[in-house]
Amino acid sequence: MGLRQESSDNNYSVTPSPGKQFSIAIVGGGLAGLSLAIGLVQRGIPVQIYEGATEWTDAGAGLVFAKNSMAAMEKISPDIYRAFAKRSSGQGWESKKTTYMDYRDGSTDGELVTSVTCANTGQESVHRTLFAKDLVALLPSGTFHMGKRLVAIDNRPDGGYTLRWADGQSADADVVVGSDGIKSKCRQLLLGEDSPEAVPKFAKEFAYRGMVPMERAVAVLGEEFARNSMVNIGSDCLTTTYPVEKGTLLNLVACRSIDTWEHDEWVVPSSQEAVRKDFAGCGPVMQKVISMMDKPAMWALFDHPECSTFYKGRFALIGDAAHASTPHQGAGCGQAFEDALVMCSLLEDEHVVSAAHVEDALEAYDAVRRPRTLKIVNTSRENGEICMMRGEETGDDLGKIKATLDQRFHWIWHEDLDQQIRQAKSKMREVSEARHYNGAVK
């Protein structure tokens, strides 16, 4: 079932494939939108994906995944998982292959607090931009469009939508999925631009980020600390490091708590002197990590801890547009793949044929995905507090921190994805039957 793109007067439209009588526009070309697009295309569902950026950047370059995320990739499309495996990096030492993360006392020379394990998979990490480019290559020609910044969405008389871009062009679709990141325009349009839920919330912390060649990291940190993933726990601060790009690079993150963000921009240039001041008093390993921040910038951390709905009509949100998270559980991006899996599974269902059926599918998606993802957003914030020795129940007690870290990730990793899909499809049937019973026969 092929896709056919037609253009006229610089406007794009999609001709549905036989069997599925609706077209989908995905707004945002990050990992959420790309994985959804690949899954839909491979299931014979017409899709076009529109990315606002005009070129690729390395923002948020390193990403961490565990077993639930990798399983979701495989279930959406084996091609996605193969692209991931081509670039992913695990722990560098064979003895740590099942380790998710080593948590260390940042006031010391790397004394181990606990080694958190994720059986069979450990942790895998990847360079975000390079992985995204590989996913674009899996899409049919003419499906992915850059430089399409959304400014408005108009409702059409037939129940579909017209998307309007900043360049003056437009596109029509029966269904719209917003995957346009934490600053999502789609979220604002869906929830209402005056809604408090429409804008991200400051998470009371900022981060310095960097990426250095592994050879340099080994010279600074030593073999064990450079080639394996670790979090250094500090008072009101932490550092996280992990290898990416088949172990050739080390991703660096150094977070610091702060009550307010006074800048208009989310990313503010800084200096090595400011970084040293922010991490003064930390132990030698943390000092070595921050010493590799060659061109430091302060990145304010925001998230979306609340959302009353992920859909309205045939318009839905996925990924960071729905549930952007802080990085402290390494679970935020993985939820984008779970989103895509559930949505693909619903839309490919034999009972979803026309555009009128899609609303039932999106209601079911919202019912299943929203509780889990928002719990991840809020527990990620909580884990950041714990690892900066600010946890309400753990404070600076390393014994309590260890006990919490040893068990707090299991519910994320050991999710039954097939059960999620069954639950979503059951909910969709329930919604559809209720509409039929109430006279909204399609």
CA distances from 114 to 105, 199, 319, 390 (A): 9, 36, 30, 18
Q: How many CA atoms lie within 13 A of 352 on its CB side?
A: 26
Residue type, 362: L
Q: Which of 172, 77, 70, 71 is nearest to 125 (CA)?
A: 70
**Residues carrying an active site annotation:** 209
Structure tokens at 344: 């693909």
H/E segment holding residue 224: helix 223-227
Q: Which of 411, 410, 412, 407 is nearest to 386 (CA)?
A: 407
CA distance 400 to 187: 38
How many other CB atoms are there within 10 angstroms of residue 408's CB atom? 15
CB-CB contact of 61 with 243 (8 Å): no
How many other CB atoms are there within 10 angstroms of residue 215's CB atom? 11
CA distance 285 to 226: 11
CA distance 421 to 326: 26
Q: Which of 440, 23, 62, 40 is nearest to 249 (CA)?
A: 62
Q: H helices of 280-393, where?
A: 284-291, 320-323, 332-347, 355-387
CA distance 87 to 93: 17
The residue written with tokens 């006990």 in the block is 403
Helix axes 67-76, 78-87, angle to 10 degrees: 130
Structure tokens at 207: 């981060």
Structure tokens at 76: 């959406």
